[in-house]
Structure 1
Amino acid sequence: MTPYTTTVEGLATDVHLPDGRGPFPAVLIRTPYDRLRHRAELRGWARRGFAAVAQDVRGRHGSPGEWHPYGNETADGAAAVRWIRRQPFGDGRVVAAGASYAAHCALVLALDAPRDARPDAVLAAVPALGAADTAREPSGVERLAARAGWWAAHGDRRDSDETALARARAADPGLLTHLPLTGLPGRLGRALPSWPALWRHRERGRLIARAAGARVPLLAAGGHHDHFAEDTADLWRHWGGPSARLLLGPWGHGLTAQPGPDADPAHHVDLGDLYVRWARLALAGDLAPGARGAIGLGGSPLWLAAGTDGEPYTPRLRTLRGASFTADPERPVSSEDLTVPTDGTPDRCVLLTPPLPRPLDLVGPVHVAMRAAADTPRADWAARLTELTPDGAARRLTVGVARRADPPGRATGFTVRLGRLARRLPAGTRLRLEIAGHHFPAHARNPHTGEDPVTARRLLPSRRDVDPAGVLLRLPVLRARPAPTDPAQEILR
């Protein structure tokens, strides 16, 4: 293999070529996370016959210029694809690949670049689809902790400091409580001019909307415990290319390197080998048309065919406390602690199911329908579902947050989406549902003043009333024994 470093339109670019005579198909990875961290990955692609190219995006690590997240990737990526196609080592075929922000770089090439600069296939792992998609829930609620961590680590700087937010919070445990949230850079002690601008992005779904117009094969890989799991599945469902493949396992943002507590040894997948085999078939046009894939069922060793969804099931709920509660942003319900207080003024409504009489396989979207009222004109409603195991452990299953603007004091019916589950629950498990006004610091606190939570400077408590009889937890339950599948067979057929 022959590695070398060059520049493409001034941007630092590493190339690893296979042994032997070309020309070769190419794989392009454009990243803000340092191209040098991809050396082993590039060697792996090159050993398997691909010319492997990694490039630092503009303004990051070895590339000059100013770093504007989500700003320059279409034009710079198009220049990189055109450069690859001019090189004697290439046969003209290019796979755009990447994880997280690098997946965004790959996707905009396929969806937004001029036709002569579009790749021939896209591999998008745990994709960060865009600024608004990463910063907000579908209801508009701000994802505070995750975005603060990313901006502290990577925003408005040439290099990265992955531990920046953790160190700052250790020194100042109340760091994220300071108002306004636009003042966070000052608390961190460094300039972050793009931080306030991030929150002006409100329109989610731009890439998803354009996915129907895709004309190349897609492999989307994600984890059930990843912030972007819903976006990964939505991308696959909306993709208009000749084939779309989905791989979702019980993993976090690091995929197989970050297994969840419900992962089984059977959920370990050699991603590098799978990616290469898929790329060969995709470039050759040998994948069956349509959408296929595999989903790992957490809590079991099973893989299921993507698109498998359970039938609606509504378990009986008993209200433990808090049919009336106070959502006080000065004392918000913590997203980092599953402990539920049993004394004092209730800060949430808590409901519980009876023990499950048999194991349940939950595969598909979870919803909570409720009838409730807030005495403030703006209110967030957070619903958190927790598994209480027979041995006494509490494990978070899924969370959803909805932002409402209902008449103060008037009970209104609405639904909170809690995302999708792929989880086997053993017999004897109880499900605990918490309905609260905040889920902090994962999500910004609604100030209850009608102000923007990002720029608000004062907070007010909000009285909440929940009609226990109007709370319905809708679970997707597989009624029959699930049919197992092999993930590689589903991805590569």
Structure 2
Amino acid sequence: MTPPRDARPHVCRTDDGVALHGWIWEPETPRGVVLVRTPYGAWRHGDTARAWTRRGYRCLVQDVRGRHCSEGEWNPYLHERRDGASAVAALRAQDPQLPLILSGGSYDAHAALEGARDVDVDALVLMVPALGLAETAWDAHGRPQLYDRIGWWHQHGRGSRSFPPLSDDELRARVASAERRGVERAAREWGWTPTVLAGWRRLWMTPPVDLDRAYGGIDAPLLLVRGDDDFFHADAGRLAAAWRADVHVVDGPWGHRLGADIRDEDVRDRLRDSGGIGAVLDAWLTRTGLPSGASSTRHIVPAGRRSRSAFEPLSGHWHHERTA
């Protein structure tokens, strides 16, 4: 790990004494605070943090429990509610007067949602969220997503550091074994520890998230970015439908890596020329009354409890509408 030169280290302790480490990027005069919690290495999120600091936000990117610099044992999708609340409390104690946003994509979006369950936050900004174990294990038709899950747990689910990905041949062989013998019996031959195997069993046994029960008490506006080609698209739609506070959905022709998944160079250019997702974020922040990086926005996000912005790839224009 190479520490970022433009950030300072941060540590907070959970209610059970585990030290969670991260990095803080800071503007000269903070007007808000953003928290991102990730299993993928806090120092790797420098570009994301700098985008927030340009908008006037102090940004803490924190390694989740058991990953990289943070203490504890890594159990995917198990500790983010409790630990996220501890991180929010630490930031609130430092800057009680500043608005606080929880943000992240994929697993980081799950961590943000869980962190908002028991504490008050001012907004959430989520991208292509992985809602929970079951939502990552099964597709919208109830089919097991073996390639994705075996690959992810091999690479990211087995300790404080990520491993190199499986080769295509080895991944195909493991998928074939899981199809033939079952996911649990096949995994016993992959050299995983008992702790990892227990998490692997939990992955396939956990029911889908009850969105109303889990997140119905969150009274904060939500900006939700989903992708037409993202495998979590349907789950993002379910989250938007269940959200009780204001929700603005951002749609476009991208996959799980957002603009990086757009193969058509002309479409990528049109998205960039339109201001991209960041321009819609600025408009939404302004509409929500939160600090924004733009003195005047290129887009007008309509007021209302439910609204939507959709990027049209052929014209390169954004379409903004109220949906309820």
Say whether residues 1:175 and 2:174 are aligned partners.
yes
In the TM superposition, what whole-angstrom CA distance separates every residue of 1:418-458 from its partner, at most 9, and x where no partner exists?
Answer: xxxxxxxxxxxxxxxxxxxxxxxxxxxxxxxxxxxxxxxxx
Say whether residues 1:301 and 2:277 are aligned partners.
no
* Aligned match of 1:148: 150
Do 1:109 and 1:118's aligned partners in 2 also have CA atoms closer than 8 Å?
no
The DSSP-based 3-state class of the residue aligned with 1:84 is: helix
Which of residues 18, 33, 36 in structure 1 aligns to 2:27?
18
Cα distance in 2 for residues equivalent to 1:4 and 1:250: 36
* Aligned match of 2:284: 278
1:134 to 1:218, Cα distance in 2 relative to 1, 3 A? same
Cα distance in 1 for residues equivalent to 2:280 and 2:8: 26
Cα distance in 1 for residues equivalent to 2:136 and 2:201: 15
* Aligned match of 1:164: 165
1:172 to 1:92, Cα distance in 2 relative to 1, 3 A? closer
Cα distance in 1 for residues equivalent to 2:50 and 2:68: 20
The CA RMSD over aligned residues, in Å, is 2.7
1:70 to 1:11, Cα distance in 2 relative to 1, 3 A? same
- The amino acid across from 1:16 in the alignment is W
Cα distance in 2 for residues equivalent to 1:490 and 1:68: 40
Cα distance in 2 for residues equivalent to 1:224 and 1:172: 26
Do 2:11 and 2:20's aligned partners in 1 also have CA atoms closer than 8 Å?
yes
The answer for unaligned runs of 5 or more in structure 1 is: 304-485
* Aligned match of 1:131: 133
- The amino acid across from 1:301 in the alignment is S
1:85 to 1:183, Cα distance in 2 relative to 1, 3 A? same
In the TM superposition, what whole-angstrom CA distance separates every residue of 1:24-63 from its partner, at most 9, and x where no partner exists?
Answer: 3101001111111111221221122111111000000110
Say whether residues 1:103 and 2:109 are aligned partners.
yes
- The amino acid across from 2:204 in the alignment is W
Cα distance in 2 for residues equivalent to 1:280 and 1:12: 31
Cα distance in 1 for residues equivalent to 2:249 and 2:283: 14
In the TM superposition, what whole-angstrom CA distance separates every residue of 1:260-312 from its partner, at most 9, and x where no partner exists?
Answer: 569824344533444345335424499722111123456x3366xxxxxxxxx
The DSSP-based 3-state class of the residue aligned with 2:240 is: helix
Say whether residues 1:200 and 2:205 are aligned partners.
yes
Do 1:250 and 1:267's aligned partners in 2 also have CA atoms closer than 8 Å?
no
* Aligned match of 2:10: 6
- The amino acid across from 1:87 in the alignment is Q
Task: Please give the TM-score of this superposition, normalised by the length of structure 1.
Answer: 0.55
In the TM superposition, what whole-angstrom CA distance separates every residue of 1:57-88 from its partner, at most 9, and x where no partner exists?
Answer: 00001101011111111111111111111115
Whichever of the two has the greater Rg, that structure is 1
Do 2:27 and 2:53's aligned partners in 1 also have CA atoms closer than 8 Å?
yes
1:297 to 1:204, Cα distance in 2 relative to 1, 3 A? farther
1:288 to 1:16, Cα distance in 2 relative to 1, 3 A? same
Do 1:175 and 1:187's aligned partners in 2 also have CA atoms closer than 8 Å?
no
1:51 to 1:180, Cα distance in 2 relative to 1, 3 A? same
The answer for unaligned runs of 5 or more in structure 2 is: 14-18, 292-300
The DSSP-based 3-state class of the residue aligned with 1:223 is: coil
Do 1:267 and 1:301's aligned partners in 2 also have CA atoms closer than 8 Å?
no
Aligned runs of 1:15-94 on 2, under 5 Å? 15-20=24-29, 22=30, 24-88=31-95, 91-94=97-100
| Aligned-residue identity in percent | 31
Runs of 4+ more than 2 Å apart: 137-141, 169-175, 183-192, 207-214, 260-287, 294-298, 300-303
Larger proportion of strand: 1
1:175 to 1:283, Cα distance in 2 relative to 1, 3 A? same
Larger proportion of helix: 2
Cα distance in 1 for residues equivalent to 2:227 and 2:147: 19
Cα distance in 2 for residues equivalent to 1:126 and 1:218: 13
Residues paired across the two proteins, number: 295
1:226 to 1:46, Cα distance in 2 relative to 1, 3 A? same
Say whether residues 1:225 and 2:245 are aligned partners.
no
Do 1:14 and 1:53's aligned partners in 2 also have CA atoms closer than 8 Å?
yes
Q: How far is the alpha carbon of 1:139 from its aligned partner?
A: 4.8
- Bigger drift between 203-212 and 215-224 goes to 203-212
Cα distance in 1 for residues equivalent to 2:172 and 2:135: 27
- The amino acid across from 1:253 in the alignment is H
Say whether residues 1:237 and 2:241 are aligned partners.
yes
Q: How far is the alpha carbon of 1:235 from its aligned partner?
A: 1.5
- The amino acid across from 1:175 in the alignment is R
Cα distance in 2 for residues equivalent to 1:93 and 1:145: 40
Q: How far is the alpha carbon of 1:95 from its aligned partner?
A: 0.4
Do 1:126 and 1:232's aligned partners in 2 also have CA atoms closer than 8 Å?
yes
Task: Please give the TM-score of this superposition, normalised by the length of structure 2.
Answer: 0.81
